Amino acid sequence: MRIPIHREGWPFIALFIAANGALYWLSPWLGVLFAPLTLWCIAFFRDPERSPPAGEHRLVSPADGVLLPIAQATPPAELEMGNEPRPRLSIFMNVFDAHVNRMPVSGEVIALDYRPGRFFNASFDKASVYNERMSARIRPAGHGDVKDDFAVVQIAGLVARRIVCDLRVGERVGRGARFGMIRFGSRLDVYLPLSAKIVIKEGSVTRAGETVLAELQG
């Protein structure tokens, strides 16, 4: 039976529980006051099961959160996807969202690149350019050209200090599969192929692995 907590969370959960126990030993009132923080820590690292909707051509959200304004932007240069702007869908995760990231579509990992950077608020547009990030280039199953590739970028936020990415170059991934997480509070950018049809509106609340963002053509 799988416990719905991401492995990254266990050290933090243990620390919060130990601190809570120590405070309760010193003063029951202190223990009660600290208890909501312990519960928040457990909730932050939750890793619920998700079921992608039918249709491999339907690109699902990589994160729980809120869809920020849709933009036209050039994918990270390190992924070598060209200089032509593409539709960029950005999902902002606050500290109360589940932070496990999931693969938007089935395909092959073509390239990965980690870049250190700043820690601006992840809801700011400049976070896509200046913040610490982990970028992945994915080629959807059944496609064989760079114009069909898409990018998914994990971006650290104001409080985030660790990006976890389990992907490997050459690996084949499934739609909705877990591939990492960011702690604490962050953003996911998805750069779409030009032919993709966006089916979600700005401001929509998303669920990783389930909410459909766009449909791939061809």
**Secondary structure (DSSP) of 62-76:** SSSEEEPPPEEEPPP
Three-state SS for 24? Answer: helix
Spatial separation of the C-alpha atoms in residues 100 and 115, rounded to whole Å: 20
Tell me the residue type at 28.
P
Spatial separation of the C-alpha atoms in residues 158 and 184, rounded to whole Å: 8
Between the alpha carbon of residue 53 and those of residues 39, 85, 123, 213, 215, the distances in Å are 31, 28, 28, 12, 12
CA dihedral 134, 132, 180, 53 (to 10 degrees): -80
Spatial separation of the C-alpha atoms in residues 21 and 125, rounded to whole Å: 41
Active site residue 195: no
Spatial separation of the C-alpha atoms in residues 213 and 201, rounded to whole Å: 9
Q: Catalytic one among 61, 90, 128, 186?
A: 186
Spatial separation of the C-alpha atoms in residues 132 and 98, rounded to whole Å: 20
- Could you list the active site residues? 186
